[in-house]
């Protein structure tokens, strides 16, 4: 299984960057995890969007899903609408039908997203097969319903994307023993009482507690000192740490 970083920015994009999105492939199966602003262009530089089997959304925040709108436009109005392309499954939390209808209405086209994708709502703790990849969801604390996304290869390799949220036992349990943990490191420093995001230090501590093999810091701005963030996380983790870079690939 191969993991490719399409976008690693937090809520505001890096210079030339994209918000959260990851491409995971195994054999002929291609799955996108989240699809934030700028992700469609990054995807098209690597893979034809017609070849995507499914898009899994972790939670209903703009920086994790807004490029569903241009993708829906491509599927609805572009050449893909005439060439028999099968749109990717859109797999999202409960309440997504109402959410995506409302988002479409807000941009003046109430049918765009509901009509562009075959939509599947998942339960907070769920397990779904997408071709050769198994996707499991795990509820984690954040603002609104939020889920860590676990991707499992046929040979047993595991990638866990922690979505957004604070250091928590729920996230540590979801990531337990993973080959790769994508953990957000939005905050420059830990903030007491913070219930929304993590710092690099907290991401490192989370990785240590979960016993993962490799930690990749993500949802982190290029306005921070990224090498210093990596060093801080490594000091807490005691294992291999990288800062996500767009285009970086990881074999699992």
**Token pair 């990288």: residue:** 242
Instruction: Report pLDDT for 51.
Output: 98
Beta-carbon contacts of residue 203 (< 8 Å; ≥ 6 apart): 183, 184, 185, 215, 217, 233, 236
Instruction: Report pLDDT for 194.
Output: 65
Residue 193 pLDDT exceeds 80: no
- Calculate what percentage of the chain has a pLDDT beyond 90: 93
Residue 210 pLDDT exceeds 80: yes
- What do you get for the CA distance between the two ends of the chain, in Å? 5
Instruction: Report pLDDT for 109.
Output: 86
Instruction: Report pLDDT for 249.
Output: 98
Contacts 24+ apart (CB under 8 A), 229-232: 229/185, 229/200, 230/200, 232/199, 232/200, 232/201, 232/204
Task: At 201, give phi and psi (nearest 5°).
Answer: -60, -45
The overall average pLDDT reported for the chain is: 96
| Cβ atoms of 157 and 189 closer than 8 Å | no
| Cβ atoms of 136 and 56 closer than 8 Å | no
Instruction: Report pLDDT for 10.
Output: 97
Q: Are strands 158-161 and 180-184 parallel, antiparallel or unpaired?
A: parallel
19-29 pLDDT, tens digit each: 999 999 999 99
Instruction: Report pLDDT for 82.
Output: 87
Closest CA to 140 of 109, 183, 108, 200: 183
Number of domains in the chain: 1
Closest CA to 164 of 9, 5, 46: 9
80-104 pLDDT, tens digit each: 988 888 999 999 999 999 999 999 9
**Token pair 């921070």: residue:** 224
Average pLDDT, stretch 41-46? 98
Instruction: Report pLDDT for 191.
Output: 76
| Cβ atoms of 55 and 72 closer than 8 Å | no
Task: At 11, give phi and psi (nearest 5°).
Answer: -65, -20
pTM assigned to the model: 0.96
Instruction: Report pLDDT for 84.
Output: 87
125-180 pLDDT, tens digit each: 999 999 999 999 999 999 989 999 999 999 999 999 999 999 999 999 999 999 99
Average pLDDT, stretch 227-246? 98
Domain ranges, residue 168: 2-251
Residue 197 pLDDT exceeds 90: yes
- Calculate what percentage of the chain has a pLDDT beyond 70: 100
- Give the residues across from 120 on adjacent strands: 91
Q: Which two tokens stand for residue 2?
A: 């191969």
Average pLDDT, stretch 213-223? 98
How far is the CA of 148 from the CAs of 110, 119, 141, 165, in angstroms?
Answer: 29, 19, 10, 10
Average pLDDT, stretch 109-131? 95
CATH code of the domain covering residue 53: 3.60.15.10
């Amino acid at each position: 299984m191969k993991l490719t970083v399409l976008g690693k920015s937090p809520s505001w994009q890096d210079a030339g960057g994209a918000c959260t999105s990851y491409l995971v492939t195994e054999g002929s199966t291609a799955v996108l995890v989240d699809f934030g602003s700028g992700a469609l262009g990054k995807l098209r530089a690597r893979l034809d969007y017609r070849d995507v089997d499914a898009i899994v959304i972790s939670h209903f925040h703009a920086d994790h899903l807004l490029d569903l709108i241009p993708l829906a436009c491509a599927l609805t109005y572009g050449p893909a609408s005439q060439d028999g392309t099968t749109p990717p499954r859109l797999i999202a939390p409960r309440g997504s039908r109402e959410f995506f209808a409302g988002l479409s209405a807000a941009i003046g086209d109430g049918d765009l997203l509901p009509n562009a994708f075959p939509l599947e709502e998942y339960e907070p703790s769920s397990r779904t097969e997408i071709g050769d990849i198994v996707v499991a969801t795990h509820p984690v604390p954040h603002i609104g319903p939020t889920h860590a996304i676990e991707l499992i290869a046929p040979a047993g390799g595991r990638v866990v994307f922690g979505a957004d949220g604070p250091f928590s036992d729920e996230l540590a349990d979801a990531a337990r023993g993973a080959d790769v943990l994508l953990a957000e490191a939005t905050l420059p420093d830990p903030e007491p009482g913070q219930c929304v995001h993590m710092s690099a230090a907290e991401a490192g501590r989370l990785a240590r507690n979960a016993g993962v093999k490799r930690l990749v810091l993500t949802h982190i701005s290029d306005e921070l000192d990224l090498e210093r963030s990596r060093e801080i996380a490594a000091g807490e983790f005691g294992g291999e740490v990288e800062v996500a870079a767009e285009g970086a690939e990881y074999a699992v």
